[in-house]
Amino acid sequence: MMKRLLVLAMTVICSLSLVGCDNITNESGSKINQAKIGVTIVKHPLEAKADGKVYATGCYPEIILSEDYADSFPNLASSIDSYNSDWENNAKNSVKDYGYMNQQYGEGDATGYIAENTVDVVRADDRLLSALAYSYTDADGAHPSHYTYSINLDTNTGHVLGLSEVITDKEALWKKIREKIFEKYPDNKEDIENYLLCECAIDGDPFEVKMNEDTYTWTLSDEGVHIYFSPYEIASYATGDMDVVITEDDIPGLIQENYKASGKQDIDSIVTKQTAETEELEPESMGDGEEYEYTGESQGVIISNPTWHKYTSDSVKPAAEKHITLTETSKDKTDWLDTSVWAEKNGFEEAFLSYGDGNYYYAPGDGGDFGYEFTTLFLYDYQTNELLHTYDLAELCNGPDAEEGKESMARQYIRWAKAMDGILYVSLSHNGYTSEESRSGYMVAIDMKTDTVLWRSEPQVSNACNFQIVDDTIICGYGFTAEPDYMYLLDKNTGEKVEQIKIESAASQFEIKDDTLYVATYNTAYTYKINR
């Protein structure tokens, strides 16, 4: 097998930048020469291919310890083998699934269907193996999902280390992380502070909470503690990745003695990188018809899901007698519209579900694996920051519904929310094709006095980043790759469709200035005159 061949073929050069070639002691008390420590990272490319055509691509890493390193630290080797197995299985399943999606519903271009996982080892010795992993996936969505995560293993025991286990002063560290982030990224300071305001309805500083919950992404080298933040972790997607290094000069004695690096490592002499031959896979749906099941703990008031069908309760007001109409006044089509540039040009903020409207501040709960799959919503008084409402919308998003007891086939989440006149309006959808879940893309109205659903719209009317309400009309939009793209005008009292307007591509954001509606889509910027 490739792994065995690579282990037998691998040689490791003794680096003068290590502590010479001194012997070090493993968990059994035996000695291993520093020169025997070596790591090979193999990149395994993947292709989902059928009839000679590639529908999706990806890759996964494999970490291979040198023979002496693995023999001397068997617990470490066992843990690494578990990571290797998970990476391989997850990557192959994703590439197969993306290939199937593209083959069935896409345009056949593999560039939009990618599942890549890579890893870089930053330290490997007798105390710690520290590595940074990177995940990048794209199922032809509005933008790819990418994030970093860390692997920190005690070399002797093989167990995963938390940051709190290797440092001496948690308070000093989180304060220094915050300070250095604001120093290094001054343009992001306001975005970070707004994004983290009221995060998860917690007391105290979110940087402190991450420290107490041990949820930082980190690596440890001779330089110090390296902290990494992925998009959506402490700021909006537009800010991108951020990182800082906390050194011993910043906080003397920060690193516990048993995890301090014994000297500067020449990591390039320890780590070898190789690329295996590309493996071909058959496109295959990995869903197997399994439904999404919410298993998390409830936060706040649970809003039940009456049904997946169009629904109006007995408490709804009659439909409005008059609604706005829209007259298109401009249309600027490009290959791709950068929403952040569009927003800045027109004096708007890029829409993200952590915002204030002058009456309320809307803060989402945990974002799940991808950082944006919010099912909990906190409403604060905008002026006093007093928590007014906590809504658990997991059941409303994903079921089961009271009528048929069915769960969602895909994970759905809150896109946007707006409270006015005692009613909370929310947009709920999943990030994918209607073939994955046709019961998605709803507008829902919730009575804030009774905590019950007043109405649920038809599906596939709302999956944009936000929506707007003008008088008695809700302006929203739905679209996805290879699916129809429309703006919808809904009655605010009943959720009924009033009008649908064809647009070039899926709507991403709606903004209003005076009597002008600005609309950003994937490739076109529109303006409309609002006729009242």
Rg of the chain taking only CA atoms, in angstroms: 26
Q: Which H helix or E strand runs over 131? A: strand 128-139
Residue from 220, 140, 234 nearest 182 by CA:
234
Contact 195, 202 (CB under 8 A): no
* Segment 199-235, tens digit of pLDDT: 433 445 778 878 888 889 999 999 999 999 987 777 7
CB atoms within 10 A of CB 321: 6
SS3 category, 120: strand
User: Do 161 and 128 touch, CB atoms closer than 8 A?
Assistant: yes
Helix (H, G, I), strand (E, B) or coil at 318: coil
Q: Using one digit for the tens of pLDDT, what is the confidence trace for 434-473?
A: 878 889 999 999 999 999 999 999 999 999 999 999 999 9
CA distance linking residue 376 with residue 359, whole number of Å: 19
Q: Which regions in the chain score pLDDT beneath 70?
A: 1-35, 140-143, 194-204, 236-237, 286-299, 369
DSSP assignment of 240-290:
--EEEEE-TTTSTT-B-GGGS-SS---HHHHEEEEEPPPEEE------TTP
Cα–Cα dist 134/120, whole Å: 9
pLDDT digits (tens, 9 = 90+) for 36-95: 889 999 999 999 999 999 999 999 999 999 999 999 999 999 999 989 998 999 899 889
- Whether residue 212 contacts residue 170, with contact meaning beta carbons closer than 8 Å, is answered with yes
Let me know how many helices (H) and strands (E) the chain has, helices first. 9, 30
Q: Model-level pTM greater than 0.75?
A: no
Angstrom CA distances, 518 to 308, 346, 353, 521, stand at 31, 9, 19, 10
